[in-house]
Structure 1
């Protein structure tokens, strides 16, 4: 696998993990504690990373809700 292929694979994996964390947050209210992160830049990028997962989660739910293949119970 090329470097580009590995980078794409890693990026997709990171987005999936972030989306999973967003689902956990929505269903249980649990979220990673970022107050202990001393580096402000790392804290900022971690928040952006988690917000990306929230956006992907919202888009996925909206897409599935508009689809005829899914029903709400």
Structure 2
């Protein structure tokens, strides 16, 4: 039972992080303001903010790692 809860939690975090990446690369984001129920709207916004937080921290981690390099549009690194 606990492993199933952890699995669903990880899936939810991955989806939220993917939505954050889509927002950053395209500007598209779920229309949270169209959710009528105030509590549901608040939780949806918190969920999306969690994805932004995970994305920010992942970028910081990757930027500080020697295993990742920043590609500035050049494809000359063949």
TM bucket by the smaller chain?
A: over 0.9
Q: Matched residue pairs, number?
A: 71
In 2: Cα distance, 1:35 partner to 1:19 partner: 20
Residue matched to 1:8: 6
Residue matched to 1:39: 37
Higher relative CO (Cα under 8 Å, sequence separation at least 6) belongs to: 1
Q: How far has the Cα of 1:68 moved from its partner?
A: 0.3
- Structure 2 residues not aligned, in runs of 5+: 72-78
- Which has the larger Rg? 2
CA RMSD of aligned residues (A): 0.5
- Structure 1 residues not aligned, in runs of 5+: none
Residue matched to 2:63: 65
TM-score normalized by the length of structure 1: 0.94
Moved over 6 A (4+): none
Q: How far has the Cα of 1:43 moved from its partner?
A: 0.1
